[in-house]
Amino acid sequence: MTDQPDVYGRDRTPEGAVVVELNQYRQNSDPIPITFHRRELDAILRIYGRMVGEGEWKDYAIDHLKDKAVFSIFKRSGEMPLYRIEKNPKLAGKQGAFSVMNTHGMILKRGHELPQVLKVFDKVLKLVD
């Protein structure tokens, strides 16, 4: 038994270490990754499902990074992605947060609203004689 009280105070432990709340630690050390919201993911998966039904696409991958979220579309899972749909909030005030890129990294369409950007995948109907 010691003469010290059992309560060490709000911010101190018996060894003198500082106690930090978990949510403060996470905010300071590791930023929350950028993600697609549910409506954005619904719009992307609607087009993905249509293209899978047509036999154009076979696989996808979703990456949530510190600075952007990426939805990659593959013809075969072992290859480079055919397309990448990216959400980069840092570009929201400039060119638009959403973009569609091809295999070579060329931006096919960029904009502020995802439905407008995804129109790059709409096929033009042709009249057949």
Is residue 7 a part of any domain in this protein? no
Read off the pLDDT of residues 23-58 as tens digits, 9 standing for 90 and up: 776 666 666 788 899 999 999 999 999 999 988 899
Looking at this protein, which amino acid is placed at residue 84? R
Is residue 112 a part of any domain in this protein? yes
Enclosing domain of residue 75: 38-121
Is residue 111 a part of any domain in this protein? yes
With beta carbons less than 8 A apart as the criterion, state whether 88 and 106 touch: no
| Cα distance between residue 60 and residue 93, in whole Å | 28
Q: Spell out, as residue ranges, where the chain has pLDDT lower than 70.
A: 1-16, 25-31, 77, 124-129
Its pTM surpasses 0.85: no
Is residue 116 a part of any domain in this protein? yes
Is residue 29 a part of any domain in this protein? no
Is residue 110 a part of any domain in this protein? yes
Q: State how many domains the chain has.
A: 1
Q: Which long-range contacts (CB under 8 A, 24 or more apart) does 38-47 make?
A: 40/87, 40/114, 41/71, 43/114, 43/115, 43/118, 44/71, 44/85, 44/114, 44/118, 47/118, 47/121
